[in-house]
């Protein structure tokens, strides 16, 4: 496999990072899955505030988002992904084939709640699918 850094659309990667961060903020907000996620963990608004804030978490999230979007862009380039549909299919393959499966094994062995698995795996699966869709569409 040849990795072609010149074929990467860096503007699409930047947009994908913003998309990933926005989706994460929405996914774990009270509008979507924030409350059930907190309930499974036994967190309260007060306990989250007392933990010292999420500054480090957001910084790590930005770094991880850059790496993720860039890796998806490289894979899309190597796979010849050049449409939104091709991107979506690649993203679903990556999200379901790698994230959902490998994380799922940990949840089973750790006897963690299925609801938590669906929330925590749903975000990267949807995110990777949307990132790849965006990158594929932007080729």
Q: In whole angstroms, give the CA distance from residue 132 to residue 91.
A: 5
Residue-wise pLDDT for 21-69, tens only, equals 999 999 999 999 999 999 998 888 887 777 766 777 889 999 999 999 9
Residue-wise pLDDT for 12-31, tens only, equals 999 999 999 999 999 999 99
pLDDT for residue 34: 93
pLDDT for residue 15: 98
Please provide residue 43's backbone torsions phi and psi, each rounded to the nearest 5 degrees: -80, 155
Q: What is the residue extent of each domain of the chain?
A: 5-137
Residue-wise pLDDT for 81-136, tens only, equals 999 999 999 999 999 999 999 999 999 999 999 999 999 999 999 999 999 999 99
């Amino acid at each position: 496999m040849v990795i072609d850094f010149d074929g990467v659309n860096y503007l699409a990667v930047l947009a994908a990072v913003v998309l990933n961060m926005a989706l994460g903020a929405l996914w774990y907000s009270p509008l979507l899955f924030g409350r059930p996620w907190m309930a499974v963990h036994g967190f309260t608004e007060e306990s989250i505030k007392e933990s010292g804030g999420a500054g480090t978490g957001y910084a790590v999230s930005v770094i991880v988002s850059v790496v993720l979007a860039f890796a998806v862009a490289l894979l899309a380039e190597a796979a010849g992904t050049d449409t939104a549909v091709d991107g979506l299919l690649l993203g679903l393959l990556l999200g379901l084939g790698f994230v959902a499966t490998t994380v799922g094994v940990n949840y089973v062995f750790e006897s963690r709640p299925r609801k938590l698995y669906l929330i925590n795996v749903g975000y990267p699966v949807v995110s990777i699918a949307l990132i790849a869709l965006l990158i594929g569409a932007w080729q």
